[in-house]
Amino acid sequence: LVRLFSQGGHHHIPIVDSAQRLVGIITQSDLIRALYRAVRV
């Protein structure tokens, strides 16, 4: 995900299931929040 956000210029990345149906969206903020929480522990 970090590579997609940093190299691709993306701000949102869709998450799809095995049938290619949208099940969610990950934002840059979601990724930063998760990384921050992982470092704090």
pLDDT at 9: 81
- Type of residue at 18: S
Domain interval for residue 26: 2-40
3 state DSSP class of 11 = coil
Question: Based on the structure, what is the number of domains in the chain?
Answer: 1
Give the tens place of pLDDT for each residue, 1-41.
888 888 878 889 999 999 999 999 999 999 999 999 999 87
The H or E element spanning position 8 is helix 2-8
Q: How many CA atoms, within 13 angstroms, populate the side-chain half-sphere of residue 17?
A: 4
pTM for the predicted model, two decimal places: 0.67
- Smallest CA-to-CA distance from 26 within 38, 40, 12, 5 is with 12
pLDDT at 26: 95
pLDDT at 2: 81
